[in-house]
Chains A and B, each alone.
Chain A
Amino acid sequence: EIVLAQSPATLSVSPGGRATLSCRVSQSISISYNLAWYQQKPGQAPRLLIYGASTRASGIPARFSGSGSGREFTLTISSLQSEDFAVYYCQQYNNWPLTFGGGTKVEI
């Protein structure tokens, strides 16, 4: 199965600041653009942010952007709002089984 490594595990950012989250495929396998990003707040289900590596899901603010292809991907949150402090997961859908990264916690 494809293993996704997310870094850093925890990211401390000030409100209004910029957050850059990384998701890497651990093996020498390209997953093309077949990657999604989710946001999860405590006690809530994950919310789809990005699919196709860079396409924002419906209703997602423009401050969320995704980039990358192949084995390396980035989620950038520009100008962090208070509601953006959460855990972020990447998920690949290039190969079965579907797999998620271990998550990055974005905290103040």
Chain B
Amino acid sequence: QLELQESGPGLVKPSETLSLTCTVSGGSVRTTSYYWGWIRQPPGKGLEWIGNIYYTGGTYYNPSLESRVTISVDTSKNQFSLKLTSLTASDTAVYYCARLVSTVTSFDYWGQGALVTVAS
């Protein structure tokens, strides 16, 4: 059974950089059928797609965040990562990693989510 697990700091200061890693178990990130993505959800609000990466390193980013986002993949560790720079309080959210089915571009496996609070 595929499992995804987010890890990283739960509290980050304004203007600093958020760094999260998603570890994939029960399957490989090195697959032609899937992308690997990040989605976030501010407390009490809806879902926002951040971006995706393919195992070869190709990326798609949400234009609203593109200037601040980097997603990378490490196939040797079966992980992919998110960096979001220049944080403000509005970046406070639960950050989910998920598997994106390439043929239907929907998220079929999700991590449990990691709450990241931006505060001084």
Q: 8 Å CB contacts to A: which residues of B100-119?
A: 101, 104-108, 110-113
> Inside 8 A of A36's CB, which chain B residues have their CB?
104, 106-107
Within 8 A of A (CB), among B51-98: 60-64, 96, 98
**B48 interfacial by beta-carbon distance below 8 Å:** yes
Q: Would you call B11 an interface residue if the criterion is a C-beta within 8 Å of the partner chain's C-beta atoms?
A: no
Q: When chains A and B are docked, how far (Å) is the Cα of A48 from the Cα of B63?
A: 24
At the interface, is chain A mostly helix, strand, loop or mixed? loop
Q: How many interface residues does B have (CB within 8 Å)?
A: 21
Q: Does B26 sit within 8 A of A, measured CB to CB?
A: no
Which of A17-25, A68-76, A78-86, A92-100 contacts the other chain? Answer: A92-100
Indicate which residue in B62, B64, B101, B107 contacts A46 across the interface (CB closer than 8 Å): B107
Q: Which residue of A lies closest to B108 (CB)?
A: A48
